[in-house]
C-alpha cells in the first residue's frame, strides 16, 4: 500500500476578471441592459482577462506529514486550500485524496449565536462532516478541551471571544479527519492558546498518523509544527522540501522585492535592504541583523547636512530613528558609482513580528529639512521563538521585545 | 482504509448524490438549527405562526363571503374552506421565500466548507413545514369549533402535501440559484407570493371561475394542490378535478427538474461569486 495521501497533478484554477464590472455581483437588470447595449455597440468594451490563481501544481505528501504551505500574499495558498477542501472546483488537473478532509474554520464560521454551546458543538461537528454518534462519543473530551462546562447551555452569543475560539478549535481538533487543513486561524487567541493548539496539531499528526496542511505567515509556527514545506509563488510551486529548507528559500526569496527606486527626489534615489547573509530582502526573521542601504547624492557636499531615517509601524507610529548626525560615519571609497551609498547595519533589532515602514529625511543638524520621503520602504519582520520557549511573539506583545535576564531571589 | 476521493476538473458531478446521502446528518442538524432559531428569540414565536393564518382567514372570509358574496363550494362553513385553502398556500409562500434567502444567509458557510449546497434550501423548506404543522393543528381546533368532521379522504392529505413540497422546492431552488448570481431576483419572490394569492383559489372556490377560463386557471400549479387539500379535508367536496391535478403534478415535476438542474449548474460557482 502506498503511503501517499494527497497527490496533485497539473492542478490549476483560473478566474475570469471582468474589468468593466466593478460591483461584486451582477444584477439581472444590469445583465439585460448590457446585452442590449452590446447589440448596438459592435466594439466590445468588455475587457475580460483570465487570471490564473494556481497553475500546474504537482505534489505528493505522505500520511502523517505536517506540511507548511508558505508564500507571499496572493501566491495562491488560500486557493489551494479551497480546492483541497472542495469549496471550489479546479479548472485543470486533479487531486487524489485518501480520506476525509476537514478544514479548521475561521472562528465561529459554523456557529449560530442564538444556539447554546451544546447545540453548537453538534452543529459545527455536522458541518465538518461528523456523524452525531461520533460527536456524542467525543463530546466530553471536546467540552473538556475547551473548558466551557458551566456555559454549555448558554447561547454562544454571550460567550467571551476566548471561549468562542476555544470551543471552535476543540470541535475541529477532535474530529479526526485523515487530512486536517488549517488556514491562519492561529493568528487569534493568546499565546497560551496558540501553544496549546499547535501542540494538539502535532499530537494529531504524530500520535494518530494524520496529515496536517498548515498555511501561515508565521515562519516560526511553520518551523515549529511542520516537517515538510511547500513554497508557492505567483500560483506556482517554487519549492518543496523540508519545512526548514522551504522557509530558507522563502526568506532568500530571489524574486522578493528588496529595493525601491525613488522618483521625484533631489537627494535620495534608492533604498535597499539586506538580510544577515547580505542578500537583498524585505522580510527578516525576528532578531537577525539587517542593513538599510540608502543611495543618495549631494548630501556630503553640503556642510552640516545629514541623512536619517525613521522606522514606523503600520499605524504610522514612530518606533525609532537614526541619523548620520548622531554617530560619525565610517568612510569607504568606491570610485565606480555615481551615487553615495549610506549603509546602516542594524544589529539584533528587537522588533517584534509585523510590518514596518521607513521614512527618510535629509536635514540640517540644527534644523531645517531639505527632503522628507514618507513611506520610502516597507519591510516585514517574521515571527520567531526568540526565547526558545515555544512562545511566539506577535503584535499582541507590542512592537519591541526585550533581552531580559530574569532572576528569582528566594529563601533557600 | 478510507476510500480515495478524486477531485478532477469538471467532474464534480460524480460524487454529488453520494455526498448528499453522506451529509444527511448535516441536513438534519441544519433543519433543526433553523427551527430552533426561529422559535427561540421571538416572544410570539409559535403564536406568530398561529395568528397569521387565523387573521388572514377572518379577513378573507369577510371579504369574499360577506362583501363579494361568493358561494362556498360544499357544505363546509366558508371560514373552514378558506382556511383549508390557506394551509398549502402559506406553506408554499413561506417555503419559497425562506429558500430563496437561505444561501445568502449562509454565505460564510458556503465560502468556507464543502457540502452539497442543495442541503441549505431544502432544510429551509423543512422549517416551513413546522409552521404548516402548527397551522394544521389549529385547523383541527377550528373544525371542533364549527363541529365539522373531515371524512376518510383525509388519508390522502400527505400526497397533496408532497405535491406542494415538490412544487415549493422546485421553484425555491430555481430562484435560489438565480438569486446568488443576480441579487435582484429576490424581488420576484414577494411578487409571486402576492400575485399568486389572487390567482389561486385561496379566498374563493374554483367553482366560481367561469368554465371557459378554467383551463387557463389550472395552469397555476397551486390550483391542483389547493383543490386537493379541500377535497381531502372537506369530505370530498368539491369533487377532485383530475385534469387540474394532472396539470399540477406535471408542472411541479417540471419545476423540480428545472430547479435541480439550474441549481446544480450554478452551484459550482457559488463559492466564487457569493
Rounded CA-CA distance A57/A70 in Å is 14
pTM, 2 dp = 0.69
Inter-CA distances, B127 with A40, B53, B93, Å: 48, 17, 12
- State the average pLDDT over residues A318-337: 82
- State the average pLDDT over residues A88-103: 84
Cell numbers for B222, please give them: 397551486
| Residue A230 pLDDT | 92
Contact B4 A96 (CB under 8 A): yes
Sign of CA dihedral B251, B253, B257, B259: positive
Instruction: Kindly list the residues from chain B whose CB atom is less than 8 angstroms away from the CB atom of residue A51.
Output: none
| Residue A110 pLDDT | 74
H/E element, A276: none
- Find, among B24, B39, B219, the residue nearest to B122 by Cα: B24
Q: At what angle do helices B157-181 and B188-199 cross, to 10 degrees?
A: 150
Q: B251 pLDDT band (50/70/90 cuts)?
A: very high
Tens digit of pLDDT for each residue in B95-115? 998 888 888 888 878 877 888
| Residue A255 pLDDT | 43
Mean pLDDT of chain A: 81
Question: Nearest CB to A87: which of B6, B37, B114?
Answer: B114
Contact B114 A106 (CB under 8 A): no
Least confident of A60-74, A97-111, A304-318, A396-410: A97-111
Q: Give me the percent of chain B exceeding a pLDDT of 70.
A: 93
Are A354 and A299 spatial neighbours (Cβ–Cβ below 8 Å)? no
Of the two residues A41 and B132, the one the predictor is more confident about is B132
Contact A127 B113 (CB under 8 A): yes
- Best mutation target among B23, B29, B115, B127 (most A Cβ atoms within 10 Å) is B29
Tens digit of pLDDT for each residue in A341-400? 899 999 988 999 888 989 999 998 888 888 888 888 888 888 888 888 877 787 778 889
Side-chain half-sphere CA neighbours of A275 within 13 A? 24
Contact A95 B6 (CB under 8 A): yes
Can you tell me whether residue A390 is helix, strand or coil?
Answer: coil
Q: B1 pLDDT band (50/70/90 cuts)?
A: very low
As for the ipTM of the complex, it is: 0.75
Q: Rounded to a whole number, what is the distance in Å from the CA of B51 to chain A's nearest CA?
A: 24
Question: Nearest CB to A131: which of B25, B108, B182?
Answer: B25
Tens digit of pLDDT for each residue in A141-194? 888 888 888 888 888 888 887 788 778 878 877 777 788 888 765 555 566 777
| Residue B169 pLDDT | 92
| Residue A258 pLDDT | 52
| Residue A272 pLDDT | 85
Least confident of A77-91, A203-217, A279-293, B31-45: B31-45
**Alpha carbon B209 to its chain's center:** 24
- Best mutation target among B10, B16, B25 (most A Cβ atoms within 10 Å) is B25
Contact A127 B26 (CB under 8 A): yes
| Residue A290 pLDDT | 92
Least confident of B37-41, B136-140, B207-211: B37-41
Amino acid at each position: 500500500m502506498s503511503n501517499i495521501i494527497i497527490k496533485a497533478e497539473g492542478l490549476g484554477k483560473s478566474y475570469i476578471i471582468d474589468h468593466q464590472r466593478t460591483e461584486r455581483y451582477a444584477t439581472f437588470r444590469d445583465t439585460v441592459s448590457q446585452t442590449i447595449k452590446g447589440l448596438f455597440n459592435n466594439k466590445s468594451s468588455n475587457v475580460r482577462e483570465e487570471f490564473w490563481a494556481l497553475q500546474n501544481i504537482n505534489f505528493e505528501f505522505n500520511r502523517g506529514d505536517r506540511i507548511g504551505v508558505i508564500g507571499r500574499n496572493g501566491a495562491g495558498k488560500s486557493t489551494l486550500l479551497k480546492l483541497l477542501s472542495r469549496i471550489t472546483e479546479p479548472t485543470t488537473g486533479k487531486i487524489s485524496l485518501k480520506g476525509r478532509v476537514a478544514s479548521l474554520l475561521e472562528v465561529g464560521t459554523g456557529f449560530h449565536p442564538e444556539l447554546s454551546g451544546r447545540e453548537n458543538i453538534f452543529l459545527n461537528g455536522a458541518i465538518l462532516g461528523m456523524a452525531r454518534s461520533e460527536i456524542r462519543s467525543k463530546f466530553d473530551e471536546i467540552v473538556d478541551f475547551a473548558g466551557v462546562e458551566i456555559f454549555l447551555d448558554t447561547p454562544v452569543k454571550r460567550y467571551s471571544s476566548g471561549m468562542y475560539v476555544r470551543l471552535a478549535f476543540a470541535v475541529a481538533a477532535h474530529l479526526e479527519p485523515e487530512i486536517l487543513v488549517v488556514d491562519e486561524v492561529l493568528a487569534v487567541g493568546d499565546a497560551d492558546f496558540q501553544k496549546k493548539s499547535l501542540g494538539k496539531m502535532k499530537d494529531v499528526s504524530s500520535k494518530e498518523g494524520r496529515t496536517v496542511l498548515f498555511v501561515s505567515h508565521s515562519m516560526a509556527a511553520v518551523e515549529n509544527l511542520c516537517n515538510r514545506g511547500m513554497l508557492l509563488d505567483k500560483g506556482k510551486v517554487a519549492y518543496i522540501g523540508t519545512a526548514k529548507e522551504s522557509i530558507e528559500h522563502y526568506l532568500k526569496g530571489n524574486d522578493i522585492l528588496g529595493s525601491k527606486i525613488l522618483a521625484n527626489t533631489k537627494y535620495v534615489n534608492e533604498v535597499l535592504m539586506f538580510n544577515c547573509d547580505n542578500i537583498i530582502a524585505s522580510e527578516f526573521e525576528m532578531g537577525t541583523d539587517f542593513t538599510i542601504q540608502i543611495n543618495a547624492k549631494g548630501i556630503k557636499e553640503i556642510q552640516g547636512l545629514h541623512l536619517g531615517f525613521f522606522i514606523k509601524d503600520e499605524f504610522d507610529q514612530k518606533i525609532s530613528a537614526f541619523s548620520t548626525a548622531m554617530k560619525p560615519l565610517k568612510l569607504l571609497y568606491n570610485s565606480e558609482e555615481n551615487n553615495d551609498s549610506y549603509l546602516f547595519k542594524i544589529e539584533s533589532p528587537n522588533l517584534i513580528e509585523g510590518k514596518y515602514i521607513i521614512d527618510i529625511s535629509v536635514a540640517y543638524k540644527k534644523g531645517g529639512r531639505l527632503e522628507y520621503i514618507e513611506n520610502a520602504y516597507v519591510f516585514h519582520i517574521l515571527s520567531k521563538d526568540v526565547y526558545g520557549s515555544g512562545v511566539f511573539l506577535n503584535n499582541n506583545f507590542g512592537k519591541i521585545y526585550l533581552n531580559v535576564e530574569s532572576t528569582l531571589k528566594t529563601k533557600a | 482504509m478510507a476510500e480515495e476521493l478524486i477531485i478532477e476538473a469538471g467532474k464534480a458531478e460524480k460524487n454529488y448524490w453520494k455526498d448528499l446521502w453522506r451529509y444527511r446528518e448535516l441536513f438534519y442538524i441544519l433543519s433543526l438549527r433553523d427551527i430552533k432559531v426561529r422559535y427561540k428569540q421571538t416572544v410570539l414565536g409559535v403564536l406568530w405562526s398561529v395568528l397569521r393564518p387565523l387573521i388572514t382567514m377572518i379577513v378573507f372570509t369577510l371579504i369574499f363571503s360577506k362583501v363579494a358574496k361568493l358561494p362556498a363550494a360544499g357544505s363546509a362553513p366558508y371560514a373552514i374552506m378558506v382556511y383549508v385553502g390557506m394551509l398549502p398556500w402559506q406553506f408554499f409562500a413561506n417555503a419559497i421565500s425562506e429558500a430563496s434567502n437561505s444561501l445568502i444567509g449562509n454565505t460564510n458557510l458556503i465560502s468556507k466548507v464543502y457540502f452539497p449546497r442543495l442541503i441549505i434550501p431544502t432544510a429551509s423548506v423543512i422549517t416551513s413545514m413546522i409552521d404548516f404543522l402548527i397551522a394544521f393543528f389549529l385547523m383541527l381546533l377550528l373544525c371542533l369549533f364549527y363541529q365539522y368532521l373531515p371524512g376518510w379522504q383525509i388519508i390522502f392529505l400527505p400526497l397533496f402535501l408532497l405535491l406542494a413540497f415538490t412544487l415549493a422546492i422546485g421553484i425555491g431552488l430555481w430562484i435560489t440559484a438565480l438569486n446568488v448570481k443576480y441579487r435582484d431576483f429576490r424581488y420576484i419572490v414577494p411578487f409571486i407570493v402576492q400575485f399568486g394569492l389572487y390567482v389561486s383559489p385561496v379566498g374563493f372556490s374554483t367553482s366560481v371561475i367561469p368554465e371557459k377560463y378554467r383551463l387557463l386557471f389550472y395552469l397555476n400549479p397551486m390550483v391542483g394542490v389547493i383543490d386537493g387539500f379541500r377535497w381531502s379535508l372537506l369530505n370530498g367536496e368539491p369533487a377532485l378535478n383530475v385534469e387540474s391535478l394532472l396539470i399540477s403534478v406535471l408542472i411541479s415535476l417540471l419545476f423540480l427538474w428545472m430547479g435541480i438542474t439550474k441549481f446544480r449548474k450554478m452551484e459550482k460557482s457559488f463559492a466564487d461569486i457569493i
